[in-house]
Amino acid sequence: MINIVIIGEGNVGSHLASAFRMSRAQKRDVTVDVVNARTLKNLPSDADIYLICVNDDAIASVSDSLPIVNGIVAHTSGSIGIEALGRHHRRGVFYPLQTFTKGIELDYSEIPFFIEGSDSEVCSRLCDYAKLVSDAVRLAGSSDRALLHLAAVFACNFSNFLYTIADCIIKKGDMDFKLLLPLIRQSVEKVTHIAPQLAQTGPAVRGDFKVMQKQEIMLSSNPEYQEIYRLISKCILENQTQSKENC
Amino acid sequence: MINIVIIGEGNVGSHLASAFRMSRAQKRDVTVDVVNARTLKNLPSDADIYLICVNDDAIASVSDSLPIVNGIVAHTSGSIGIEALGRHHRRGVFYPLQTFTKGIELDYSEIPFFIEGSDSEVCSRLCDYAKLVSDAVRLAGSSDRALLHLAAVFACNFSNFLYTIADCIIKKGDMDFKLLLPLIRQSVEKVTHIAPQLAQTGPAVRGDFKVMQKQEIMLSSNPEYQEIYRLISKCILENQTQSKENC
């Protein structure tokens, strides 16, 4: 029997709770309690693992407010070090590289989990727990985790903002964002086969300055989007002239 | 019998040729000839449609170098107007909203095709030809096509460049870009269900300045990526405070 306590009821907490509950459906003997991070009401004292799933800024204070427990205390953040949990003897990091939105289901089994632990026994336990939900579990120290998180901000958060800009542009013609979905899906399909640098298409990589100039002018009602256009186009142009190895 | 001539042997030309040939496999009576755009060697004189699939800059000159034909002359560009084909009486635009890379196959049936024609008979013919390959054919004038193309640059070309940056970051930890694929796929899955503005996650939308500051510092060896980080984060922050309607 594995007793898991999730502290925090936000996106990450509720998704991890469903993920562990699904593993239970697969006949693994797991209990999952979700506890409010502010009140810690009904916090079980004998769990195997306490997963702190709160905003980065709150991790240290939630950790400090927990009683001393025998179980492992871990957080789920990409950018906070293990030392934020310093009060606890058996501590670790349990970082799922994924974007969680309430109400949108996902396939947990392919989410990469990156594990760090205060000692090898903690590492090995945390890996076992992560394997309850995922087939892609590996160890990573704080510096690799920070790189992963930064890469994820570009690949996921910032891409999503570019979709927001595209949505804004296409609405000016009373057209629907959904028209762009086949294109967006194919862009992702391409980078599953070839490196993104080799998959680059568009006016900037072709050095098509006439199109770039026209498109910049189209953005003149929004100087910030225009600046993003200019900056990324410039980088794409320069990137092509660099060695593929030297990024 | 429909006789199609593709002028240009690049990504767009070769993909459109395969797409039409696949429709032939479905027992539609189609011939497809691909012709080199510079030499126009073996150009058939009696085709129903001549599709100019060359770089935007070359469209007008290829159009001018074609003999006067009875068939429709069309280009496939998002950002060039129909008037570039002014020499030809029956002219049009046949714009597939997709990113084409040689050697990477795709499902043509869901690619949106945007059609414009010099008269309604040409429009209707071009729609029929597009329907040979796609289930998503619609009419669009030059101004809508320009909006679609600009939106596509953000949603596809620029997102791909963000993947390139992510690849560069993750390699600094000797890790593989493929680790990011489940996250990237899920980001796309989300915007098939909810508007991108509502799907936004990450440090900027949370207003997590500590993380943003750390991540900016991590990028100090590449001032341009740092500038992209700063600019997009700022826009995400501001966007959240705006009305969702006012983009």
Strands (E), chain A: 2-7, 30-35, 49-52, 72-75, 91-96, 112-117, 136-139
Contacts with B, A 132-161, CB within 8 Å: 136, 143-144, 146-161
Contacts of A152 (CB under 8 A, 6+ apart): A78, A97, A99, B166, B180, B183
Nearest Cα neighbor of A181 from B101, B146, B55, B107 is: B107
**Alpha carbon of B106: minimum distance to chain A alpha carbons (Å):** 7
**Alpha carbon of A126: minimum distance to chain B alpha carbons (Å):** 19
The residue among B241 and A226 whose pLDDT is bigger is A226
Q: Rounded distance, CA A58 to CA A56, Å?
A: 5
Q: Are B41 and B35 in contact (CB under 8 A)?
A: yes
Verify whether the Cβ–Cβ distance B164 to A224 is below 8 Å.
no
Verify whether the Cβ–Cβ distance A110 to B182 is below 8 Å.
yes
Token representation of residue B134: 């796609």
**Residue A178 pLDDT > 90:** yes
B61 backbone dihedrals φ, ψ, rounded to 5°: -75, -35
Q: Are A155 and B126 in contact (CB under 8 A)?
A: no
**Residue B25 pLDDT > 70:** no
Least confident of A107-121, B13-27, B85-99: B13-27
Q: Rounded distance, CA A70 to CA A47, Å?
A: 8
Token representation of residue B126: 């071009």
Q: Rounded distance, CA B78 to CA A97, Å?
A: 36
pLDDT digits (tens, 9 = 90+) for A23-76: 866 667 899 999 999 999 999 999 999 999 999 989 999 999 999 999 999 999
Nearest CA in chain B to A171: B147
Q: Are A145 and A95 in contact (CB under 8 A)?
A: yes
pLDDT class of A247 with cuts at 50, 70, 90: low
Contacts of A27 (CB under 8 A, 6+ apart): none
Q: Identify how many contiguous H helices and E strands chain A contains and give both numbers.
A: 10, 7
Q: Could you identify the residue written with the tokens 């240009």? A: B8
Quick check: B9 contacting A, CB < 8 Å? no
ipTM for the assembly: 0.92
Q: Rounded distance, CA A124 to CA A144, Å?
A: 18
Verify whether the Cβ–Cβ distance A164 to B239 is below 8 Å.
yes
What is the strand order of the sheet B49-52 is part of?
B30-35, B2-7, B49-52, B72-75, B91-96, B112-117, B136-139
pLDDT value, residue B243: 52
Question: Cβ contacts (< 8 Å) between B199 and chain A: which residues?
Answer: 101, 160, 163
Question: Cβ contacts (< 8 Å) between B193 and chain A: which residues?
Answer: 104
Verify whether the Cβ–Cβ distance B168 to A247 is below 8 Å.
yes
Quick check: A185 contacting B, CB < 8 Å? yes
Nearest Cα neighbor of B219 from A146, A197, A227, A81 is: A146
Judged by phi (left if over 0) then psi (alpha if -120 to 50, else beta), residue B174 lies in left
**Residue A246 pLDDT > 70:** no
Verify whether the Cβ–Cβ distance B215 to A247 is below 8 Å.
no
**Residue A245 pLDDT > 60:** no
Helix, strand, coil share (%) of chain B residues, nearest 5: 50, 15, 35
Question: Cβ contacts (< 8 Å) between A148 and chain B: which residues?
Answer: 170, 173, 175, 179
Token representation of residue B125: 């013919």
Mean pLDDT of chain B: 93
pLDDT value, residue B244: 47
Q: Are B66 and B88 in contact (CB under 8 A)?
A: yes
Torsion sign across C-alpha atoms A34, A39, A42, A43? positive
Partnered with residue A3 across adjacent β-strands are: A31
pTM for this model (two decimals): 0.91
The residue among B243 and A166 whose pLDDT is bigger is A166
Question: Cβ contacts (< 8 Å) between A211 and chain B: which residues?
Answer: 56, 79
Question: Cβ contacts (< 8 Å) between A206 and chain B: which residues?
Answer: 55
Judged by phi (left if over 0) then psi (alpha if -120 to 50, else beta), residue A3 lies in beta
Alpha-carbon separation of residue A118 from A34, A123, B121 (angstroms) = 24, 7, 73
Q: Are A155 and B162 in contact (CB under 8 A)?
A: yes
pLDDT class of B186 with cuts at 50, 70, 90: very high
Verify whether the Cβ–Cβ distance A186 to B239 is below 8 Å.
no
Q: Rounded distance, CA B145 to CA A173, Å?
A: 9
Q: Rounded distance, CA B60 to CA B64, Å?
A: 6
The torsion defined by the Cα of B73, B79, B82 and B87, in degrees rounded to 10, comes to: -70
pLDDT digits (tens, 9 = 90+) for A92-115: 999 999 988 877 888 899 999 999
Q: What is the mean pLDDT of residues A177-189?
A: 96
Token representation of residue B185: 């796929």
Nearest to B236 among A161, A197, A205 (CB): A161
Quick check: A245 contacting B, CB < 8 Å? no
**Residue A231 pLDDT > 60:** yes
Contacts with B, A 57-96, CB within 8 Å: 57, 79
Nearest CA in chain B to A237: B161
Alpha-carbon separation of residue B96 from A179, A183, B11 (angstroms) = 11, 10, 12
Question: Cβ contacts (< 8 Å) between A214 and chain B: which residues?
Answer: 79, 146
Q: Rounded distance, CA B241 to CA B237, Å?
A: 7
Q: Rounded distance, CA B88 to CA B99, Å?
A: 28
Three-state SS letters, A178-199? HHHHHHHHHHHHHHHHCCHHHH
